[in-house]
Structure 1
Amino acid sequence: MPDHTAIEQEDVPAPELPVTLDMPGKIADFLCTADLEPAERAALDLGVTVRCGQGYTLRVSAVPSVHRRLLARCQPLDGSQGSPAVPAQRKARREDENRVSSLAPSGP
């Protein structure tokens, strides 16, 4: 097709690529009981369980924005909103937050 010209779209952001992160089992257990969006639920459902010691991690592949939304849903584990914080859950959330924050920053 010699008449075919490329359409330049400068304002269109590059699509996010899936990233695989290990989510602590305490976080995965909490999220399994949460009301999640379909993309978040699918990411958890497709996760692979990896046994380690007494617990486990869930290896989740998803775009960074889904990882960030899942982390945001774990805020109650920090003991906010009048609910008591369980130290192990709070530590698991901090570990997950460190992994998610190591991803490239979100858009503008």
Structure 2
Amino acid sequence: MVQTLAAGEFQGDLQRELTYDGLRATEAKGNKGGRRPAIPSDKADGVRAAYLEGQFMVSLVRECDVSRGAIRTVVAGLLLVHMPAGPGAPAPELRLSGDVPGRVAGFLRAIDLEPAERAPLDRGVTVRRGQGCTLCVGVTPAVHR
């Protein structure tokens, strides 16, 4: 019985040693370990630009065929990049996103609205939810009020 336990421990040590040898060999060749990013770096700039233009995360997920986490990882640093340059500079207008029930969105489209209020409704993304639909919109705080 002792011999069986010793053989199993030897097997584990050997496997661990071979794994580390393989990792060191790939590092010596210049390869970086770990999982590849879900969105390639050449597409990441396009995703960031689309997000800054107001495209919703849901539509970016569908376009790129990746998870929300992958999109969030790509756009994570945008708020830090677009902070005011100096102490007296005004803060940027951050976009608020929200869901408007389909019937409410239909009513808002039917009434007379200002162009700044109508633009988010026209750019919104309709999402089917159960029996009805929801319109996902993104606006600045001034329009939201």
More strand by proportion, 1 or 2?
A: 1
User: TM-score, length-normalised on structure 2?
Assistant: 0.37
Larger radius of gyration: 2
More helix by proportion, 1 or 2?
A: 2
User: TM-score, length-normalised on structure 1?
Assistant: 0.49
